[in-house]
Homo-oligomer: A and B are copies of this chain.
């Protein structure tokens, strides 16, 4: 028999306890031992919870209980769970967590501290989809060339609605909040921060690269308009918030931003709140993993999978590499990113404007690939939408500044990156 203690018995923790009981027959057959949720720790003992396990408000009741074999951390936050998880490891207890923020900031210290003690975190990235396992085990023969992930269901739900139903950003955000898909302060989701945590976890397994959220380019979906959606449709693109990792000659690009991607690519076909991660290996080619990225039961499915693996005696290296591995891959700075770009700007509707814009772009070595001009309500002003051939991010940022300074250009210039 194996005893589990759960730190944080909210939606996911409740599901973990309930599934261990409801599906106990099949789980025991697969793990070879009975797995029992013995106790849980919560902040507020007076709140009603739909679980029958013993609850306490003192983490020590789990962390220091010699009968607890595996500590499941589902509290959220960073520093508080970090301290508790460290104590659990120092007590020799295996740890399973769904906490992406904890890992985004402390995964390498935790790997060091854990040593031979199992530390698993399948549920931290893309919810119920077993993508950590696929990357750590199933693709171990490959140098990973690139990854693209739809890892935030809120953003994907909103973008799907904007594209398929013509909804405006503000309206659909309000709807997502009413449905419980988006928080009252939606910044963590719509700003790309949630996806960045997951991308960093995957990047460690793929590339052995250590980076924190503040080291990488993170942008959200807040500035997308129906004009951009119409352009994307016209030119055969979908718009997705992607976490992107890419190995190039100079190193590794890691970035999160709204992206135009060809409608024909598999990940472009992932709609609504669903998540998916595409991983391209040098030998296996493109693979994709699709499923529910959130929700109590789906996330608990991944938590329990980790528990079963630990009970079976599996000992995967936490971040996919045996001790002593030094990645020689360099994280590229934001300025060094190279990709295609889409720009949207308001210009005077008069002759010579286009020449002025293309010559400004030309100064930075940027050339236009496709273009669309649209009238506005104001007869004197036109909307100019275009995509560029590949160029470096720093050049594009300088070009946007130079374009903004032109007297024929009005208001802010909107930019989106394109992956082909």
Interface residues of A (CB under 8 A from B): 15, 19, 23, 26-27, 29-32, 122, 128-130, 133-134, 137-143, 208, 266, 269-270, 281-292, 295, 297-298, 300-305, 308-309, 312-317, 320-323, 325
Contacts and interface: CB of A to CB of B under 8 A. Distances in A.
Given A285-B298, A287-B291, A301-B139, A313 B315 contact: yes
A376 B321 CA distance: 65
State the number of copies, please.
Answer: 2
Given A269-B269, A288-B290, A291-B286, A27 B140 contact: yes
Contact of A141 (B287, B295, B301): B301
A332 B66 CA distance: 47
Contacts of A143: 23, 26
A135 to B, nearest CB: 9
Nearest to A29: B325
A141 B23 contact: yes
Contact of A32 (B27, B122, B290, B322): B322
A15, A128, A130: most-surrounded residue (chain B CB, <10 A): A130
Given A19-B141, A141-B301, A288-B291, 11 more contacts: A32-B323, A130-B137, A130-B287, A137-B305, A141-B304, A142-B301, A281-B301, A283-B300, A284-B297, A284-B302, A287-B290
A23 B283 CA distance: 10
A321 B30 contact: yes
A285 B302 CA distance: 12
Contacts of A305: 137-141
Contact of A282 (B23, B140, B141, B282): B23
9 contacts: A31-B140, A32-B322, A122-B138, A128-B285, A130-B287, A141-B301, A285-B297, A287-B291, A312-B316
A300 B141 contact: yes
B141 A130 contact: no
A22 to B, nearest CB: 9
